[in-house]
Structure formats: C-alpha cells, structure tokens
Structure 1
C-alpha cells in the first residue's frame, strides 16, 4: 500500500455516554447501558431490553431546514461527527476549501419509513408526508445530511453490510486514502434504537429475555448467555493520510495498519469460523504484524450461543490462548450497524488511557471461551496495538488492526 493512514479525530454518542469523556468513564468502570423499556413490551416485543440512547436536541446547532431531513441515525451521527471534527481541528472554513470524503455505515431507516407510510394511510394524501421524509427514509440519510451540513467535497456514499457496516466503512476509507484517492475521509456507523427498527429482529428470538436484571443480560462468552440485546447511537472516526495530518498539525491518535475482510458464502445468519479466520489472517498479513504484536482483541461477540462460540474458536485458531480478549457489547449490547465503528472508538479510548475494558457478566466459561484469555475485570495495562472484529448477517466479516503512533 502507498500512503500511511492515521486517525485524527473520534466522536461517540452511545448508551455509555454522549461524549468521549463520559464513555471513557463507563468503559473503565464496567458500567452497562442496558435498560428495560416498557414501551417495547406494549409494542409486542418478546424482549423489552435495549441500550438506551436519547435523541439529541439539535436546535442549538442546526437550522430547521438542516434538521428536517434527519431521523435518529442522522441525529446520532451528527453529534458523533461534530465531536470528532472538533478533536481533529477541522472547521467549516477548512472543509469548504479542501476535499474531505465521507463513507458511513448504515443499514436501516425503519422508523422514518413507517412514520411516512402511516401518515399516508391516515390522511390518504401523499402530499401531507412532508418534504423532509424522503431524506429521512433513504438508507443514505446519514451521508446526505452530514455531507451537506459539513460541506464535504470528496467521496460520498453509504456502506450497508449488516453488523459489519461501521467496520467496513473505516476499511473502505483506509483503502481510499492508502491508494491516494483521498487525503481525508469521515467514517463511522449509525444505528437507530426505536422499536420499529428492532421488531423483526426480536421476532427471530435472538434477544436475551433476562428482563429481571437488564445490566446482567448481555454476557458475551459466558456459558449462560441467552441472546443479544439491541442498542445503537453513532460513532465517527476521521481518517487522514499521515502526510496530510502532519501538514496541518492535526493530532494523530493511532495508525490504521490493516483491514481484513471475507464472506462466508454459506448460511444467511449462522456464523462461520472459516470466514472469520480468513478475515483475521488477511488483516494480520496486510498490517505486517505477528500475532504476538497484538496487545488486545475487541471481539465481535454479541452474547449469542452460536456466534460467541464460533468467534472464540477462530481467535484460538489464529492467536492461541494468550492475547487478552473482551467484548464491549457486554456493556453496550449490540449496536448493530454502528458497532464496528464504535468499538474502534472504545478501544482507542482504552489505548489513550492504558486500560482494557472488562467483559462484564463473564462468570462461567464454556468449552470454547475457556481456551482464550477473557478479561472479566478492568485491567490497567498499555495497549499499543489492537485488533477489532465485526461480523454480520449474510456472512460479511471485517477485521481492523490499529497501532499507537
């Protein structure tokens, strides 16, 4: 590859906190963001558990015209991107005069579509939907809104790859920059948390029903796990070429060394150890690092019986049993389209503060997780090089490797 790719800004809006400082504290203390939502029970959900993320009030930041095309994913993404831009030192004047791209992960806009259709059914008149609905309804809602608000002039598209969307968006930004096609790309992932977005997922029976103890329900790798918990929000990662970042005196948080990917080419929802192993090996090869160089793995593990076991076997196959592993989904639940980006942000915060966040609720290993090094309590130690996994429906796999500069 040609150009080195670095991260100069990150932003987060999640159930662990609405900014980097709040989220760092939650990660360090092992604080869960999972709640019981009575509205879901009334809606007809089998499980009323969710990561709770409030909708931001954007009136202080954006005009009514700018807000009219925004629904939950775009709202969350704006807050995360605003924070990342500030950290990176990118202002409106600079963005107006330079070429900055955006590749954002998003794979649904369910609630806005339902609301628009319901309005037509009620009024029997499509002209009463409102002019902003089309921009809320489209899967590219995040890109359309953010590229317009921040006046971005480079590459501009939405990446939809199920629960690997956020990770693949960063990987694609990495490829664009390393090949010299862009100097800078805003990447990330956004996920709506409303009931309309999660009803069909709940209907599959994959959500935990440990409703009496919400904060203990998400338990990746634990023998007694009974399903995932939906969550959401948004996370933004600003990628730049090393040369461009140095030229403008931007903070360099880490270097993105490798991007591995694969497709299982098999079952539409069941994971594949073979596909995961190929993604891991590709990332290591591209990064030019040995397995012994990896200080920590932020696992995809969502707290499902089949998925966590498959990943534990893949990690053991490639790394053996020594490298520290935890899943921040034990605290956040599964942030779906956002997760691949948010977990990069979470792990960068660990890197900056020299700790490994715990895999909370890990009390009893099963035969697969017993073979790898699950970190069940916060561990104070340097993290100089880490790996993050993201796997999604349809058999899409993504692996990213980052190193401190």
Structure 2
C-alpha cells in the first residue's frame, strides 16, 4: 500500500538570505540577490553577474576533522540541513538510532578539483594535496559528509541530473517513502558558486550581460531578457511518511502528492514543449487532481529566450491562462543543481505566509508569456496547492506538486 509523504523540515542558504526568516522577507519584498562580481570579470568572464552567496565559517559547528572533506557544495548543504533538522525536531541521537536516508542533488565539484590539480602542478607531488581533497572532489561530496556528520543509517546517494537535480532528489525520496522502503529521507540540492564552476557555462554565451543593472538582469518571461545569471547555495527538504511524522509529533509543512518526470530524448541543451508537457501531466495524474486545484506554479523559467518561451507554451497547453505563475529566479538567478529544491522551499514559505512572490523585472510580455498569468508584484493569496517545474540539460524534466494539510 502506498504511503503518504509529508514535508516536516526545510532549510535554505541562498543569495536571498542565510535562513528561512531572511529568505521569506526577501521573497515578500521582491529583493534581488544578484550582484556584479569583479573577480569574474578579471578572470575572463563574458558576464560578471552572479547571485552572491557568502561562504559560512563552520568552525562553530564542526570539528576540523569533520570539515576537512568539505568544499562549497557540502558547506552550503550543511547549513541548509542543520536548519531543516532543527525545524523538523530531529537530532543526532534520534538519527543515529533510526533509519533515515539522504538523497541529495549535486552535479559539480569544479573548484575543489581545480585546486587539487593546481597544487600538484605547482609542487609536483601528489602527497601534498591533502587527505580531504578526495572527499571534496567527488560528486557525492554532500552525501558523504552529511551522512557521516549526522549519523544517517538509511539510503545514501547523490542524484546528478543537471538543473533538475534538486527536484529529482525530492522525487526519488518521495518514491522511496511511498513504497515503504524508507520512513524518512533528507533531500535537497547544492550548487557551488565560484569562477571555476561557472566558466564553461559563461563560455556558452547564455549569461545576461546587463552588468550595469545587476538587480534587473534576471528577467524571466520578459520580452527584453538576454540570458540567465548563475547562482547557488543549498536547500534541504525533509520527507517522512505521514505515519512516522504523526508518531513523533513532527510539524507537517505540506504533503507531496505528485512527481512527474520525462526525458526529451532530443537536443542536449534545447528545451522541448512535449517533454515538459508530459512531466506536468504525469505529476497531475499521480496527484489525482485537476488543473483547477493548483493555486500557484513556480516556473523553471531561467530568463533565456528559448527556455522561457517553451515553458510558457507548455503551461498554457496544460493549465490554460488562469493559474498564477512566477519564477523566483527573477530574484535568485539560476541556482542550477539546487534550484529544484530551493524552489520547493520558496513555495512552501509562500504557502505558510499566504502570498505569491513576484516575478520581478517582468515589464513587457512576449507572444508566449502574454498567454499565461504571470505575477509581476507580490500578491496576497492563500495557497493550498502548488506545482514546481525543473528542467535540465540533457532533456531531463521534473515536476513536483505539494498541497497543504
């Protein structure tokens, strides 16, 4: 028998804030986290825009031995997970004696690899790299570090699916719990934000060059958009079976009722309306709800001409013109591997506080965006059910649906 899956904890560390309170305020006020980064311009970037995410100092949280194998993705993920566990009422004593899993989305550890190789080139001696480098360099760095630090005893792997990684991690956690294979899974997404990680992406010419107006550069669905802005951090979502959550008196923030997915099976980077539509329809079918029951859509829209247009057409094809839509990437930029998880957190914060965060910088619709109901300013509205889209390179698509209990 299928188990109900609920969300009992969330945590966030992003360019909108270092905790849930700060991020809620940024979402409500439509505050952008995008800045001009001179380091990138000096490095040779075509675009020096980025979501600015301060790297936390974990000395007050962890021992040196615990920190040695951690680089940006794991560091950010620790902060988000620490907050999520506290909200959920989970401590290490409980985690060490129960079967709690972790499935985290991550798709790069570029900076740590570059640093290790540069050290060998300079010293001509691999023994000088340091014992922690191998654990920093592996794509599974988040899972390895967090499962050790928090004494997790359940399923443990990294999910790598480009910009849908965070969303698919939550979807896989949902499947594990719904099938009775786990009672509890820590899910999420992490994204390093440094020059090494984003140089090749910048080289594709897909980043906005509106450098004189950083806060206005990310313009999802707007006719005058000229590209996305990279960003990062980490977001954690704790999933549990409904029965397990009730048994331990955990707070229930929402119920995950639908997970849709698809592969475009076509171009490696161009989006597909057909692939996106199939993901949307699968999530709705699994959730057992009609399109009219969805109160809000958090769009994947990254501020690229082709990508935003395709999603607008897919949304219109499935939902029509009425459901409110916004892309929080207008404020955060594209958080890449973490985006599918962070946008679940952002949407849950809207649900808890009865508002829809604005799609800032949406001033002039184009032919596609004019057909759907994009929210350009903060809107006071009760949200009982929301849907979140995530699409990635390689044609991977993920759609999640969450409702209030």
TMscore range, shorter length: over 0.9
Answer yes or no: is 1:318 the counterpart of 2:304: no
RMSD over equivalenced CA pairs, Å: 0.4
Query: In the aligned structure 2, how far is the partner of 1:139 from the partner of 1:92?
Result: 25
Aligned counterpart, 2:64: 64
Alignment of 1:296-335 (within 5 A): 296-335=296-335
Query: In the aligned structure 1, how far is the partner of 2:378 from the partner of 2:116?
Result: 45
Aligned counterpart, 1:152: 152
Aligned counterpart, 1:356: 356
After superposing on structure 2, the runs of 4+ consecutive aligned residues of structure 1 that deviate more than 6 Å are none
Alignment of 1:102-251 (within 5 A): 102-251=102-251
Q: Could you tell me how far 1:99 is from its partner in structure 2?
A: 0.4
Query: In the aligned structure 2, how far is the partner of 1:209 from the partner of 1:288?
Result: 43
Q: Could you tell me how far 1:180 is from its partner in structure 2?
A: 0.1
SS at match of 1:198: helix
SS at match of 1:59: helix
Aligned counterpart, 1:382: 382
Query: In the aligned structure 2, how far is the partner of 1:393 from the partner of 1:237?
Result: 23
Aligned counterpart, 1:9: 9
Q: When the two structures are superposed, what TM-score results if normalisation uses the length of structure 1? A: 1.00
Query: In the aligned structure 2, how far is the partner of 1:280 from the partner of 1:301?
Result: 15
Q: Could you tell me how far 1:44 is from its partner in structure 2?
A: 0.2
Aligned counterpart, 1:287: 287
Q: Could you tell me how far 1:199 is from its partner in structure 2?
A: 0.0
Q: When the two structures are superposed, what TM-score results if normalisation uses the length of structure 2? A: 1.00
Q: Could you tell me how far 1:386 is from its partner in structure 2?
A: 0.2
Could you give the per-residue CA deviations for residues 268-308 of structure 1, whole angstroms, max 9, x where no partner exists?
Answer: 00000000000000000000010000000000000000000
Query: In the aligned structure 2, how far is the partner of 1:233 from the partner of 1:136?
Result: 16
Could you give the per-residue CA deviations for residues 316-358 of structure 1, whole angstroms, max 9, x where no partner exists?
Answer: 0000000000000000000000000000000000000000000
Could you give the per-residue CA deviations for residues 164-192 of structure 1, whole angstroms, max 9, x where no partner exists?
Answer: 00000000000000000000000000000
SS at match of 1:56: coil
Q: Could you tell me how far 1:313 is from its partner in structure 2?
A: 0.1
Answer yes or no: is 1:259 the counterpart of 2:259: yes
Query: In the aligned structure 1, how far is the partner of 2:98 from the partner of 2:118?
Result: 42
Query: In the aligned structure 2, how far is the partner of 1:320 from the partner of 1:42?
Result: 46
Query: In the aligned structure 1, how far is the partner of 2:75 from the partner of 2:346?
Result: 20
Q: Could you tell me how far 1:132 is from its partner in structure 2?
A: 0.1
Query: In the aligned structure 1, how far is the partner of 2:381 from the partner of 2:339?
Result: 24
Query: In the aligned structure 2, how far is the partner of 1:182 from the partner of 1:169?
Result: 14
Query: In the aligned structure 2, how far is the partner of 1:402 from the partner of 1:213?
Result: 35
Query: In the aligned structure 2, how far is the partner of 1:185 from the partner of 1:267?
Result: 33
Count of aligned pairs between the two proteins? 405
Q: Could you tell me how far 1:387 is from its partner in structure 2?
A: 0.1
Could you give the per-residue CA deviations for residues 40-95 of structure 1, whole angstroms, max 9, x where no partner exists?
Answer: 00000000000000100000000000000000000000000000000000001100
Q: Could you tell me how far 1:372 is from its partner in structure 2?
A: 0.1
Could you give the per-residue CA deviations for residues 251-275 of structure 1, whole angstroms, max 9, x where no partner exists?
Answer: 0000000000000000000000000
Alignment of 1:42-53 (within 5 A): 42-53=42-53
Aligned counterpart, 1:23: 23
Aligned counterpart, 1:275: 275
SS at match of 2:59: coil
Query: In the aligned structure 1, how far is the partner of 2:24 from the partner of 2:244?
Result: 28
Query: In the aligned structure 2, how far is the partner of 1:36 from the partner of 1:193?
Result: 13
